[in-house]
Amino acid sequence: MDNKVLIIGNGFDLDLGLHTSYSSFVESEYFEKLRHTSELVEQLYANYKEKKWIDIEEELKSFAKRYGRETSKMKKNEEAFDQLADALCLYLESIDYSKIKKESVAARLLVNVIKNGYFQVLDFNYTDLERIISILGIRDKIVCKQVHGRLIDRSIILGFEDNVDVLSSCYYMIKSHNPFYRSCNVRAILDNADEIVFFGHSLGSTDYHYFADFFKLQSGLNGTNDVKKKKIRIFTFDEYSRLKLLEQLREMNERRVNYLYDLNDLQFYKTSDKSDFAEIDKFFAELNQSSRESNNRRLQEIADIVSF
Q: Helix, strand or coil for residue 30?
A: helix
Give the tens place of pLDDT for each residue, 127-160. Answer: 999 999 999 999 888 999 999 999 999 999 999 9
Q: What is the rounded CA–CA span in Å between residue 220 and residue 204?
A: 22
Q: Are 157 and 181 in contact (CB under 8 A)?
A: yes
Q: What is the rounded CA–CA span in Å between residue 193 and residue 47?
A: 39
Element (H, E) at 145: strand 143-146
- In sequence order, what are the residues at sequence separation of 6 or more whose Cβ sits closer than 8 angstroms to the Cβ of residue 230? 193, 194, 195, 196, 218, 264, 265
Q: Are 160 and 64 in contact (CB under 8 A)?
A: yes
Q: How far is C-alpha 97 from the geometric centre of its chain's CA atoms?
A: 19
Predicted confidence (pLDDT) at residue 297 exceeds the cutoff of 80: no
Give the tens place of pLDDT for each residue, 220-246. Answer: 997 766 899 999 999 999 999 999 999
Element (H, E) at 235: strand 231-236
Q: What is the rounded CA–CA span in Å between residue 30 and residue 94?
A: 10
Q: What is the rounded CA–CA span in Å between residue 54 and residue 33?
A: 18
Q: In the 8-state DSSP scheme, what is residue 160?
A: B
Count of beta carbons in the 10 Å neighbourhood of residue 55:
19
Predicted confidence (pLDDT) at residue 303 exceeds the cutoff of 60: no
Predicted confidence (pLDDT) at residue 306 exceeds the cutoff of 50: no
Max Cα-Cα span within the chain: 82
Q: Are 125 and 9 in contact (CB under 8 A)?
A: yes
Going by their DSSP bridges, the two strands 231-236 and 119-123 should be labelled as unpaired
Give the tens place of pLDDT for each residue, 250-288. Answer: 999 999 999 999 999 999 999 999 999 999 999 999 999
pTM of the model: 0.93
